[in-house]
Amino acid sequence: MDMEIKKLIDLIGQTSADAWEITEVKTHGWEFYFIRHRLDQNRLVRTTHTTVRIFRKIEDGKLLGSASEEIPPTASDEEALRILHALSERAGFVRNPAYTLLDPGEETALSGDAGSKTALPGASGSETAPSKGSGAEGGSVKNESSVSDIARNFIGTMEEIPESADADLNSYEIFANVREVHFVNSNGIDKVETYPDSMLEAVVNARDKGREIELYRICHMGSCDRENLTAELVNAMRFGRDRLKALPMPKLEKIPVLFTTSDAKEICRFFTDRMSASFKAQGYSDFEVGTPLFGGQMESRVTVEAVKSLPNSSCNRGFDAEGALRRDAVLIREGVPEQFLGDRQFSSYLGLKNSFMPGNYRLSGGTYSEEELRKGDYLEAVEFSDFQVDALSGNLAGEIRLAYWHHGKEVTPVTGGSISATLLEAGKTMKLTRALRQYDNMEIPAAIRLEDVSVTGVDDKTE
């Protein structure tokens, strides 16, 4: 345990705290901003953020309050103690039903499942060497040891993206980060891990005679995944060329819509959000354990899992924000909710044991091939301005920047207009492919088909 954390623990001892958590995140980031392959700016980020959460028992322990704040690394002992006293006082006003912090004893029962590939120190709180590059587990991605290696791979990858006169990269931003997280609580939990957490933002242009359009991509990943990144950007250029040929969205009224790109993640989040302990405990989710979704009417009976590790996910972390071990767990099995998962507070309110906040998810359960989902007339929506699914209401909507209208034997690129539906109805006839595809921390069906989606055409007029 480093000196700063030990010092903070000593200072907390001078307050009226009944329990505490400390989370320290050290970031080493290299950033490169390009305009058409010319370097606009380079940046280096070196920070340490230490957040302390103080807990106070209220009314003889029937209630538990907490308050949190960052203690700047530049804070003097006097300033740190002032903040900690303030947190202790504030916590006494936060009157929540009692719950407990993670205890090492709870993890003993899970030890057989504790095969996280990240380094986990013992309950004694001894210092443990952090693991390297956990984000690259199980994938074909090179396990880089330093932020400079990750940045170098990004730069090299972007230089080699195949471009042409009619489609190229307008600009891109590389964010290569290696983070070290150290979590300690007053029950003796003491965990450290290091992981890569990177991001690339790219703007792709496509052009024809006198006209240019752009498409936007933001890709999160552990370290640089050359193969998938290249595929994503090459595909974006193809969509760009097709958007130049696209016709205004016709008046289609209602039509099946096929989701084959990362926007499909939003549909999956409807299920993961509704299976979160906080959503359930606050009364926002009407999903019930053991009760089939949508009254049992489901064309594809979805299975939703929390997954400890996915290849090169930026969320491959051995423990969550409260120190709980992450593991594989089923949330929904074949259309029937099995368990909610979430933080300590709301999990406690629901009576959940061994709960945790997942980092990665898998949604499966499809029985269809992609060819089967492509039968009949349908709209394949591949680019939205901002596709959204509201987990509370189930409403989904988005303005279309590019879709392929499959009608008869023709495929017509179309643009403009919008789609809307509610998953509470559309979920009943939703069809999923067997084949899955991964987008950072979510592995989801390669294609999702929703029936009877309302489409607003560009030329739709009323009176």
326 contacts 320 by C-beta, under 8 angstroms: yes
DSSP character for 59?
T
Shortest Å, Cβ 337 to other proteins:
16
Q: Which of 344, 348, 371 is nearest to 357 (CA)?
A: 344
- Least Cα distance to 259 among 439, 123, 111 occurs for 439
Contact set for other proteins, span 189-218 (CB under 8 A):
199, 201, 203, 205, 212-214, 216, 218
Nearer Cβ to other proteins, position 252 or 329?
252
- Element (H or E) spanning 228, and its range? helix 226-245
**Residue 145 or 393: which CB sits closer to other proteins?**
393
Minimum CB distance to other proteins, residue 67 (Å) = 4
Buried b (16+ CB within 10 A) or exposed e, 216-229: ebebebbbbbbebb
Instruction: Report the residue number, 226 or 401, with the smaller CB distance to other proteins.
Output: 401
Task: Say how far apart CA 101 and CA 189 lie, in whole Å.
Answer: 9
Question: CB under 8 Å to 156, separation ≥6 — which residues?
Answer: 226
CB of 205 to other proteins, least distance (A): 8
Site for other proteins (CB under 8 A): how many residues?
92
Nearest to 355 by CA among 337, 340, 333, 371: 340
Residues 315-334 that bind other proteins (CB under 8 A): none
Please name the amino acid found at residue 356.
Answer: F
Selection from 215, 130, 219 nearest residue 173 by Cα: 219
Residue number with CB closer to other proteins (227 or 386): 386
- Min dist. Cβ of residue 462 to other proteins (A): 4
Give the whole-angstrom CA distance, residue 436 versus residue 449.
Answer: 14
Nearer to other proteins, 56 or 132 (CB): 56
Q: How far is the CB of 84 from other proteins (least distance, A)?
A: 11
Residues in the chain: 463
Of the candidate residues 119, 349, 370, 438, the single one contacting other proteins (CB under 8 A): 349
Q: Which stretch binds other proteins (CB under 8 A): 115-123, 264-272, 341-349, 353-361?
A: 341-349
Partners of 453 in the β-ladder: 255
User: DSSP string of 60-116?
Assistant: TTTEEEEEEEE--TT--HHHHHHHHHHHHHHHTT--EE------HHHHHTTGGG---
Sites for other proteins among residues 372-431 (CB under 8 A):
385-386, 388, 390, 392-395, 397-399, 401, 416-420, 424
For other proteins, give the closer residue by CB, 61 or 112: 61
Of the pair 10, 286, the CB lying nearest other proteins is at 286
Identify residues 134-193 at the interface with other proteins (CB under 8 A): 148, 151-152, 155-156, 159, 170-171
> Within 19-78, which residues bind other proteins (CB under 8 A)?
29-35, 37-49, 51, 65-70, 72-74
User: CA-CA distance, 172 to 199, in Å (whole number)?
Assistant: 11
The answer to whether 253 contacts other proteins (rule: CB under 8 A) is yes
CA–chain centroid gap for 349, Å, is 25
| Tokens 């552990």 found at | 222
Contact 319, 354 (CB under 8 A): no
Q: Compute the least distance from the CB of residue 164 to other proteins, in Å.
A: 17
x-or-dash pattern for other proteins, window 82-121, by CB under 8 A? -x---x-xxx-xxxx-------------------------
Minimum distance from residue 199 beta carbon to other proteins (Å):
8
Near other proteins by CB under 8 A: residue from 178, 206, 267, 455 = 455
3-state DSSP call for residue 191?
A: strand
Give whichever of 34 and 361 is closer to other proteins, judged by the CB atom: 34
Q: Does 288 bind other proteins (CB under 8 A)?
A: no
